[in-house]
């Protein structure tokens, strides 16, 4: 069994006097891809930010490799939905990726090779000298992913990273992320509103509910996805098991 990388131990969040997340407990294994779905306002992004150390728990704790998460760490990379604001417009692609290395104190002599490697990984070698405004939305998001890979993190967190992209670009990046996870053994915690995206990418899908109570806590369902990998945008989504999972999760979201 893969070792545990991240553990949520009775994590609860109150903001503005309102309970956003009732105590929730689950763990994420090293190399696992876990998606979080649920209605707007159920606390998906809040949970992700607490796991990254951006939000302080009101109850319980988040542990990474057995240590309580007390703040942001360079071992955790965060991919935001708003890729436009995540990149510095006055820096070219290579220089934006370099930010991660600069923050880590990587010697200047080592940076060009590291940058070239991650740009090749995400297919941006020929665009290294371009500025964000010269790139499509999908390419900008690839730059953000490349910058995260340059950190060589233990864990990548993604907050609806493909939500603002067109359908074809979104599917292309889903496959790109799946490939990177498989080849580099990445561990990913992923927030999305898209049921098919969650099932297609994940090993497990967690469903959250809004307005939690003692009888109906935040964590409403945890679904294992055993579909074979590598996955295919057409064949996988025609698989009866994919359709069953989609129906199960849609029923939950439709109810809420």
Quick one: which of 62, 88, 194 has its CA closest to 147? 88
**What is the pLDDT averaged over residues 162-171?**
87
Confidence of residue 82 (pLDDT cuts 50, 70, 90): confident
Residue 2 has pLDDT above 80, yes or no: no
What is the distance, to the nearest Å, from the Cα of residue 87 to the centroid of all Cα atoms in its chain?
17
pLDDT at 102: 94
Per the model's pLDDT, the better-predicted residue between 256 and 234 turns out to be 234
Provide the CATH number for the domain formed by 1-75+155-165+186-256 in this structure.
3.40.50.300
Per-residue confidence at 1, pLDDT binned at 50, 70, 90? very low
* Residues 124-152 pLDDT 10s: 999 999 999 999 999 999 999 999 999 88
Q: Are 227 and 239 in contact (CB under 8 A)?
A: yes
Residue 196 has pLDDT above 90, yes or no: yes
Give the model's pLDDT for residue 150. 92
Q: Write the CA distances from 126 to 116, 120, 121, 122, 158, integer angstroms.
A: 10, 9, 12, 11, 25
Q: Rounded to the nearest 5 degrees, what angle is found at the Cα of 189, between the Cα atoms of 203 and 119? A: 100
Tell whether the torsion through CA atoms of 246, 248, 253 and 254 is positive or negative: positive
255 confidence band (pLDDT: 50, 70, 90): low
Among 38-42, 107-111, 244-248, the minimum mean pLDDT is found in 38-42
Identify the pLDDT of residue 227: 97
CB 29 within 8 A of CB 1: yes
- Kindly report, residue by residue over 19-45, the tens digit of the pLDDT: 889 999 999 999 999 999 988 888 899
Mean pLDDT computed over every residue of the chain: 91
The percentage of residues in the chain with a pLDDT greater than 90, rounded to a whole number, is 66
Q: Are strands 33-37 and 188-191 parallel, antiparallel or unpaired?
A: parallel
What pLDDT does residue 68 have? 95
- Per-residue pLDDT at 256 exceeds 60: no
**The three-state (H, E, C) secondary structure of 204-237, written as one string:** EEEEECCCCCCCCCCEEEEEECCCCCCCCCCHHH
Mean of pLDDT values over 86-109: 94
pLDDT band at 254 (very low <50, low <70, confident <90, very high): low
Spatial distance between the Cα atoms of 229 and 121, rounded to a whole number of angstroms: 20
């Amino acid at each position: 069994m893969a070792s545990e990388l991240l553990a949520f131990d009775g994590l609860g969040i109150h903001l503005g006097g309102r309970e956003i997340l009732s105590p929730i407990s689950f763990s994420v294994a090293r190399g696992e891809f876990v998606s979080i779905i649920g209605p707007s306002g159920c606390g998906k992004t809040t949970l992700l930010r607490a796991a990254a150390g951006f939000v302080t728990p009101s109850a319980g704790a988040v542990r990474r490799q057995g240590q309580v998460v007390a703040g942001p760490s360079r071992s955790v990379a965060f991919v935001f939905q708003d890729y436009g604001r995540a990149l510095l417009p006055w820096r070219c692609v290579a220089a934006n990726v370099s930010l991660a290395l600069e923050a880590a104190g990587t010697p200047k002599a080592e940076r060009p090779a590291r940058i070239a490697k991650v740009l090749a990984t995400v297919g941006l070698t020929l665009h290294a000298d371009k500025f964000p405004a010269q790139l499509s939305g999908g390419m900008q998001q690839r730059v953000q992913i490349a910058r995260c890979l340059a950190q060589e993190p233990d864990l990548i967190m993604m907050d609806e990273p493909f939500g603002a992209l067109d359908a074809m670009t979104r599917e292309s990046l889903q496959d790109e992320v799946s490939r990177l996870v498989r080849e580099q053994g990445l561990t990913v915690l992923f927030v999305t509103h898209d049921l098919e995206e969650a099932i297609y990418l994940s090993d497990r899908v967690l469903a959250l509910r809004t307005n939690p109570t003692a009888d109906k806590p935040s964590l409403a369902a945890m679904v294992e996805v055993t579909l074979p990998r590598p996955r295919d945008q057409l064949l996988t989504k025609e698989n009866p098991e994919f359709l069953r999972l989609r129906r199960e999760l849609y029923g939950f979201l439709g109810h809420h």
